[in-house]
Amino acid sequence: AQRVTQPEKLLSVFKGAPVELKCNYSYSGSPELFWYVQYSRQRLQLLLRHISRESIKGFTADLNKGETSFHLKKPFAQEEDSAMYYCALSAFYTGGFKTIFGAGTRLFVKA
Amino acid sequence: DTGVSQDPRHKITKRGQNVTFRCDPISEHNRLYWYRQTLGQGPEFLTYFQNEAQLEKSRLLSDRFSAERPKGSFSTLEIQRTEQGDSAMYLCASSSGGRGRNEKLFFGSGTQLSVL
């Protein structure tokens, strides 16, 4: 079954501390993975996708196929990083492909 | 604002009533998704359109739910005989599909449905 698991509902860190938001996936094929973010009173938006190997707002994510993980990391958290973060997987099905989401992790960065 | 727009933003209805939501995607986008989100959960896939064709419908969607996308432009999601369990945020997203599975989804602000 295709599934995205985010084990932490809430992650609280101090400003300047490193942060890691965990994501594990279950998918039989080659995964395409994403992180989406929702800031307070804003729409859900794409943060980064693994294919681009990019760093956005200091965040990076590495695909580990052996551990079926795609954890999101930032070395020094900022208060403006406080938001809901959703890991997502684009999965094939008979009609094409679709994006499925994990339950999300709320990141709270304390001053 | 040229982003995805959804209407209404909020809908309060009584159990048993029918409701309809509208989504206007970004104009050049040919793929359109509907998701449902309840408190503490991520967006759950409901259905998806490629132009005007509805290509998949989740098992979450009972027969009381129907979605259309006439002419491949805006889409409507109708819920008939609403139940309290239908209370949720209904999100619409669109994409150009140009990068295949690496597509970037653009989300609307959602319609918050409350069934009393």
* Helix or strand (DSSP H, E) at A7: none
**Burial status of residue A35 (CB atoms within 10 A of its CB: 0-12, 13-18, 19 or more):** buried
Question: Which chain B residues have a beta carbon less than 8 Å from that of A51?
Answer: 102
Is A44's Cβ below 8 Å from some Cβ in B? yes
Half-sphere exposure of B28 (CA within 13 A, CB side): 4
Predicted confidence band of residue A80 (pLDDT cuts 50, 70, 90): very high
Predicted confidence band of residue B1 (pLDDT cuts 50, 70, 90): low
pLDDT score of B68: 95
Tens-digit pLDDT profile for residues B15-41? 999 999 999 999 989 999 999 999 989
pLDDT score of B97: 75
Record: contact B55-A102, CB cut-off 8 A? no
* Min distance B104 CA to chain A CA atoms (Å): 7
pLDDT score of B25: 96
Between B47 and B102, the higher pLDDT residue? B47
| Closest residue in B to A36 (Cα–Cα) | B105
- The average pLDDT across A60-68 equals 93
- Show which residues on chain B lie within 8 Å of chain A, measured between beta carbons: 3, 33, 35, 40-45, 48, 50, 55-56, 91, 93, 100-110
* Helix or strand (DSSP H, E) at A62: strand A60-64
Query: What is the rounded distance in angstroms from the CA atom of residue B104 to the CA atom of residue B100?
Result: 9
Query: What is the rounded distance in angstroms from the CA atom of residue B76 to the CA atom of residue B21?
Result: 5
Tens-digit pLDDT profile for residues B62-112? 899 999 999 889 999 999 999 999 999 999 999 987 667 778 999 999 999
Query: What is the rounded distance in angstroms from the CA atom of residue B114 to the CA atom of residue A31?
Result: 36
Beta-carbon contacts of residue A71 (< 8 Å; ≥ 6 apart)? A20, A21, A22, A23, A61, A62, A64
- The average pLDDT across B46-60 equals 88
* Helix or strand (DSSP H, E) at B82: none
The yes-or-no verdict on residue B61 having pLDDT over 90 is no
The yes-or-no verdict on residue A54 having pLDDT over 80 is yes
